[in-house]
Structure 1
Amino acid sequence: SEALKGGTLLVMPTALGKTFVAALVAAHLLATSPKKILFLTPTKPLAMQQAKRMRELLVVPQESVLVVTGEISPAKRAAQYASARIVCGTPQSVENDVLTRRLSLSEFSLIIFDEAHRAVGSYSYSFLGRQARESGALVLALTASPSSKPEKIREICGNLGIERIEIKTESDEDVRGYAQKIRLDWEFVELPPELLGLRDILREQLSECLQSLKKDGYLESADLRRINKRILLSLRPLLAKDIPKSYGSLSTLAKAMNFMHAIDLLESQGIAALYEFLTGLKQREEKTKAVLAILADHRYAKLVARTQTLKEGGFEHPKMRRMREIVGSAVHAGKSVIVFAHFRDSVSEIERQLNAEGLRVAQLVGRSGDGGMSQKEQHALLEKFRAKGFDVLVATSVAEEGLDIPSVDLVVFYEPVPSEIRLIQRRGRTGRAHAGSVIILVTKGTKDEAFLWISRAREKKMRETLQGLRGELSRKKQKGLEEFS
């Protein structure tokens, strides 16, 4: 009922019924208005999923719910708009049709923005939100995780014309009976001496780079504990302005970035990932001055030799061993599992290791780069997973949103993520039809540990920020009513 009163942002965990709420609002407007419903989703798979849900939830002719994407010709899209009662589409296609006047948003009584946290910057949701306000259509924006930053939530609300924020959690009385319990655990592992020795060499080289940048006046501190990737990236534009004086420092910065990445791989991913990165430097066809300097250092050969010896000896990161135990135990208990990993190389290594254990495993990766999957291949893989064609899906961030991923019993994070949005999205892959579990693997005393606490703190801050902005919007509306009266 609140969503019928004006533009509404509904913040609700995955599987608690955001689509059901959207269907209720749509049903009311279909019954009271001759206008159509527009349901926007970021990707074609989600558009198809929501169209299927609308056909299931609403008493409308099946053929009146149509999917509109960029794969359909403009002429055919125009014909679909004319015959549909409910249009489920991708925002880029709809934006193009509005700009070319094949479509007017005044034809719609309700516009639903799924994954509404995307309504920032130049993304098509921002344009369509402004057009929706001008057309007079009611806006319903859905998300499980808008942001922990007040300015970003304000931008989303401004772009979509949001007048009220509705927040639902698993503990709310009107939701509690429908929410499935999700158990969240994190398991800590320690770096063994073999990896600590390799890390010492990499840290020594990184420290030398930082000392050089500090000496040249580009860093205030060379303390490894105080320097992160974001700080180093922020130096690039500063150094670019200082050319030619900064040529040497630019190369030093590039070396530092490589060493920092190598340390991240060693701490969070393991020997195989580090070995691939180190040998990949030598295999590059075009080598920068920074890469040539790394290769010329006697410590590079030492690192490669020690890493290769460990790899060939079957040495592995303790996370890999624990991951195999967790996943193997779950599968033998008849459970379905998704394992999330940040790097594609890690996804491939995890798939290889689990296959070696006799498990039925497949990997899901994005469309870009070598070894990428087309949308058609992704869809076929997910349908096979849904049909129990295999037990474990190992995925990169592509499985966080934008795809119709079947619910699973267990989600494993091979490493923590620093984003509250990604934490919530990954967690939402379990606990839909029944209770689920999430296990996050964390390497003690590394960036893993920092990322774990950052994401949890940001999720807490997001809820506090939403409550504050909810009150702010309510006060603004009340003030407007008082001035009008």
Structure 2
Amino acid sequence: MSAHMVKFYMRDTENLVIVVTPAIVSNYFKTSREASLFDFSLLVFDEFHHATKKHDYNWLIKRYVQALNGGDPELHDDSLPQMMGMTATIGIGRSKSPDSAREFILSQCAKFNLRAAPSQVSSLDGFLNLPAEEFIVVDKRLDRVSQFIEHNLMSAIEARILSKIENNERLRSSLLGDNKQLEFPETRTNQVYLQMVVATQTALVEISHIPDIQLDTQYCKVALEHLKGYYWCLYLDNLLTCKYAVKYLLQWKHEPHLKGVREIWDMFEGNLETIIQLQEFEDQQNSNVKVERLKMRLEQQLSHQEDSKVIIFVQMRIVAEYLATLLNSMSPKFKANKFISTGRSNWDTSMNAQQRIDIRAKFEGNRYNILVATSVLEEGIDIQACNMVVRYMYVKDMIAKIQSRGRARKVGATLLTILDDKLKEQERTNDVKEKFMYDALQEVRDMSPEVFSKEIYRHSLLMKTSDDEDEPWSTPEDPGEAVRVCCRLCNASLGLLADVRVFMEKHHPVLDASISDRVMVHRKPPKTMYDGITSIGFLLCSNRSQSENKNPCGARVGVLTQLTKEYKFAMWSIRGIVVSSDAFTMQPSEYKSIKERYIIKPLYIEDIDEAGQQFQFRER
């Protein structure tokens, strides 16, 4: 269901209850000037612990509280819908002490402007069965396959990337700035390494249009993609067997973008046979202790109770697929399948909603007795037959632990966690935070009505102060004809800021048909962005005045999007533009900084047809 369909269903008196995601409801308010809180009599927030930071729950709650606290003098308590939040774990945010945990819970209560402390539904007590907890601590796997990949491939690629950057001064300064060097972390098997690789890739994409560095930039992007692939190979080798790490590598032959640099690809192909030989030796001589301990515990569970239903949580979709396949090959008692979300990456396996429904039905029946799942199964799905949950090297935050534990619903169920020493420390932290949460929640429930009311009032003031501090300009001004949008590379004028609109708070279409005279379109395969908008091409600056050979600037300054099936609109890329007037030049890092200073008018669903007729982008 899309946001504009909410409007349709609201007008149909037969639809007394609408079940939608929070994003659809918030987009309904953001895209239609006719949307009103009066359209609803009750708003129920399931899994309310998500109401943090920029989640759509928070956006809806903020709109509600503003209306309740004087946003409209004609509104009063009886005019607005009732609100109810439900969660198994309210969380404590980043709290590190009992006092800060209590403050976090009170701040969540203030979002709802509660008149009484949050209650526990006693009628559900008979349905809540806490599973017995077990832990298996294992050592980190270190075998010849991983050692060979690290020392012979990853280190060599890192050296080549550093050499390319150091030998191209313009690339180095554009990527790193002055007096900085790129350094790879020494440990290649933790997330810090992966984050560094991905961040460098992103930075290279942003500067890939700059002349004189395009070849070296492309070289580094492909090389970093290989490093990222080797990282996941090490990850799979640690969790499963060498066979599946090599299976992952063999998929590379079907990925053309990995063959973009001959030198890097030859390095992979030249060492592949050695890796396969090492894999065969390791799998014959050295089994993975994690896998063996998991197998033993599952066999024990199924021998003790033949009709057991087991859910195994893992971190990645591809791990879920490989582990399900591995378990099926290890014992005829194991009837496993994956349960995962829809993937976006070409390397990832995926599963659509209907497939998940079918797999769940077969799990609740007799076709499968093991589901290997990602976090998609943690929340909102109730499988009462499950009597064992395994977190296989899968330790996240305290909320994830409580949610996954809640899948073990049957009386006498077990929660098994298989982890190494590093994850063991994180699990201890989660246990401490869980105690903080329950103690703080009980402290809030024990408050007298007078004390609780005062605390809610205090936190509502803190929320208001926090909102005010985020806005350094109290009154944004109209940009008028004086403020221009210019190319960040050559400073050529592209259009007026006054022609930019805001749609669904996140998108910024440009209502100026003439900008096609100042940009070129680089078409690309259509790609659906978030909120259903389709990206169909890049916009490149066509200014030639700064070039000696009169070639166009070519800097990427925006995206050509299809807002509806009928209309195409340009949207400026915040990293490709500057906002300029006679008095100053602003290099914004996000649209928020522009909105703090200048008024950007909204574009509503009701206006799109009219705007499209006049201002849609027309390709030359």
Report the TM-score when normalising by structure 1.
0.66
- Give the deviation of 1:309 after TM superposition: 5.3
Question: Which among 365, 370, 386 is matched to residue 408 of structure 1?
Answer: 386
| Counterpart selection for 2:411 from 427, 434, 438 | 434
Structure 1 residue 203 corresponds to structure 2 residue 150: yes
CA separation of 1:463 and 1:138: change in aligned 2, threshold 3 A: farther
State how 1:280-291 maps to structure 2 within 5 Å. Answer: 280-289=251-260
| Alpha-carbon distance between aligned partners in 2 of 1:396 and 1:343, rounded to the nearest angstrom | 6
Counterparts of residues 8-407 of structure 1 (less than 5 Å): 77-78=9-10, 82-83=13-14, 86-95=17-26, 98=29, 99-100=31-32, 104-120=36-52, 123-133=55-65, 134=67, 136-145=80-89, 149-150=93-94, 161-163=111-113, 179-190=128-139, 195-204=142-151, 205-208=153-156, 216=166, 217-219=180-182, 222-224=185-187, 228-237=193-202, 244=213, 247=217, 250=221, 253-289=224-260, 293=264, 295-296=266-267, 298-308=270-280, 310=282, 316-332=287-303, 333-334=305-306, 335-356=308-329, 357-359=331-333, 360-368=335-343, 372-407=350-385
Q: 1:256 is matched by which residue type in structure 2?
A: L
Shift of 1:409: 0.7
Identity %: 17
C-alpha distance 361-479 of structure 1, shift in aligned 2 (>3 A): closer
Q: Encode CA deviations 1:26-84: one digit per residue, 9 max, x unaligned.
A: xxxxxxxxxxxxxxxxxxxxxxxxxxxxxxxxxxxxxxxxxxx559966872355x346
In 2, the alpha carbon distance for the partners of 1:146 and 1:209 equals 45
Paired with 2:385 and 2:86, the residues of 1 have a C-alpha distance of: 19
Residue identity matched to 2:86:
L
1:337 CA displacement: 0.9
Contact 2:144 2:282 in 1 (8 A): no
> In structure 1, what is the Cα distance between the partners aligned to 2:458 and 2:257?
63
Contact residue 331 and residue 391 of structure 1 kept, 8 A: no
**AA partner of residue 112 (structure 2):** I
Deviation at 1:365, TM superposition (A): 2.1
AA partner of residue 395 (structure 2): V
Residue among 424, 444, 454 paired with 2:426: 454
Deviations 1:414-454 (A, max 9, x none): 22233333322222111x34232111223x4xxxx434432
- Is 1:477 aligned to residue 440 of structure 2? no
* CA–CA separation in structure 1 for the residues paired with 2:222 and 2:280: 27
What letter matches 1:350 in structure 2? Answer: L
Distance across 2 between alignment mates of 1:454 and 1:480: 30
CA-to-aligned-CA distance 1:296-332 (integer Å, 9 cap, x gap)? 2554432133225556x59753322322222222223
Larger proportion of helix? 1
Structure (1 or 2) with the larger CA radius of gyration: 2
8 Å CA contact 2:309–2:386 kept in 1: the answer is yes
Deviates more, 1:181-190 or 1:243-252: 243-252
Letter of the 1:105 counterpart: L
Distance in 2 separating the partners of 1:231 and 1:117:
30
Q: Distance in 2 between matches of 1:77 and 1:163?
A: 29
Q: Report the Cα offset of residue 411 of structure 1.
A: 0.7
> What stretches of structure 2 of length at least 5 have no aligned partner?
68-78, 96-100, 167-179, 445-450, 462-620
- Aligned residue for 1:287, secondary structure, equals helix
Q: Distance in 2 between matches of 1:290 and 1:160?
A: 56
- 1:441 maps to a residue whose letter is I
C-alpha contact 2:49 2:89 (8 A) present in aligned 1: yes
Contact 1:338/1:394, CA 8 A, preserved across alignment: yes
Instruction: For 1:457 and 1:212, locate their aligned partners in 2 and report how far apart those are by CA, in whole Å.
Output: 40
Distance, in Å, in 1 between the alignment partners of 2:460 and 2:54 is 32
User: What is the distance in 1 between the residues matched to 2:228 and 2:92?
Assistant: 28
* Residue range with higher mean Cα deviation, 268-277 or 209-218: 209-218
Q: Distance in 1 between matches of 2:398 and 2:157?
A: 32
Unaligned runs of 5+ in 1: 1-68
Per-residue Cα deviation, 1:262-295 (whole angstroms, up to 9, x for no partner):
2222112322320122212233233255685154
Q: Given the superposition, is the C-alpha separation of residues 111 and 479 from structure 1 closer, same or farther in structure 2, using an over 3 Å criterion? A: same
Provide the rounded CA distance (Å) in 1 between the counterparts of 2:253 and 2:326: 26
Tell me, yes or no, if the aligned pair for 1:139 and 1:160 is still in contact at 8 Å. no
CA distance, structure 2, for counterparts of residue 480 and residue 72 of structure 1: 35
Q: Is the 8 A contact 1:331 1:337 kept in 2?
A: no
The CA distance in 2 between the partners of 1:214 and 1:147, in whole Å, is 43
Q: Distance in 2 between matches of 1:220 and 1:467?
A: 44
Aligned length in residues: 402
Give 1:89 shift.
3.5
After superposition, the Cα gap between the structure-2 partners of 1:363 and 1:232, relative to the gap in structure 1 and judged at 3 Å, is closer
Letter in 2 for 1:340: F
Between the aligned partners of 2:130 and 2:404, the Cα distance in structure 1 is: 15
Distance 1:285 1:453, change over 3 A: same
CA RMSD of aligned residues (A): 4.6
